[in-house]
A and B are shown apart, each in its own frame.
Chain A
Amino acid sequence: DTGVSQNPRHKITKRGQNVTFRCDPISEHNRLYWYRQTLGQGPEFLTYFQNEAQLEKSRLLSDRFSAERPKGSFSTLEIQRTEQGDSAMYLCAGGRDRVADTQYFGPGTRLTVL
């Protein structure tokens, strides 16, 4: 167990609905990363936070996606107007201050858009 939790673990929604996922890293994690993983692929970087500041967003993160990390603790990822192509596992990972530092992954939230 890495100490990083994600909720919910599974989410089934209908196309067009909004969904929100939550990630709780451990307190020492200044950085928080979000990834998307589809079947048979490695995780793809979406965005990351240094404390409460969102410092980089991937081109994969369309304007329907928004992420927040208020107070530099937990983070939320919201997808508006979901599409079937959004179906994937959404992973978050916590880490310290450098890309060299170990990332501690949560169990992921599996999203299915019908």
Chain B
Amino acid sequence: AQTVTQSQPEMSVQEAETVTLSCTYDTSENNYYLFWYKQPPSRQMILVIRQEAYKQQNATENRFSVNFQKAAKSFSLKISDSQLGDTAMYFCAPGAGDKIIFGKGTRLHILP
């Protein structure tokens, strides 16, 4: 079974600042994947970034990067140079077998 914990229900940062969202997970699988999905207000959920657990190198996508600590089962998301459009719910989601499990999310507000 997989579990996921996002310990920050809500965060606010000023535009252009850097913010880190935390996520810890537990899984008994050896082969799994980790995702961060973003759900903007009243808009569709979209993938932010993906990490294969067998890869040691942390994934990056433009302003988004992860800090993947496999032994600690930690998978945090860093957003650099935050923009107003980054305001959204962010879900950490480990995936193994045939499905992914979503955390409860962190509501991120980017302030002008």
Which residues of A line the B interface, CB within 8 A?
1-2, 4, 33, 35, 40-45, 48, 55-56, 91, 93, 99-100, 102-103, 105-108
Contacts and interface: CB of A to CB of B under 8 A. Distances in A.
Categorize the interface residue count of chain B: 20 to 34
B46 A42 contact: no
B45 A100 contact: no
B50 interface: yes
B104 A100 contact: no
Contacts of A93: 45
Q: Give the 5 A-B residue pairs with the shortest CB-CB distance, closest first.
A: A42-B102, A105-B45, A99-B95, A100-B33, A102-B47
Interface of B: 33, 43-47, 50, 52, 91, 93, 95-105
A103 to B, nearest CB: 7
Nearest to A106: B44
Q: Is the interface of A mostly helix, strand, loop or mixed?
A: loop
B44 A105 contact: yes
A48 B101 CA distance: 13
A100 B91 contact: no
Given A2-B44, A2-B46, A105-B44, A99 B103 contact: no
B50 A102 contact: yes
Contacts, number: 52
Nearest to B42: A107
A3 B100 CA distance: 21
Contacts of A100: 33, 50, 52, 95
A56 B101 CA distance: 14
A36 B109 CA distance: 24
A100 to B, nearest CB: 5
Contact of A99 (B44, B91, B100, B102): B100
Nearest to B100: A99
B44 A1 contact: yes
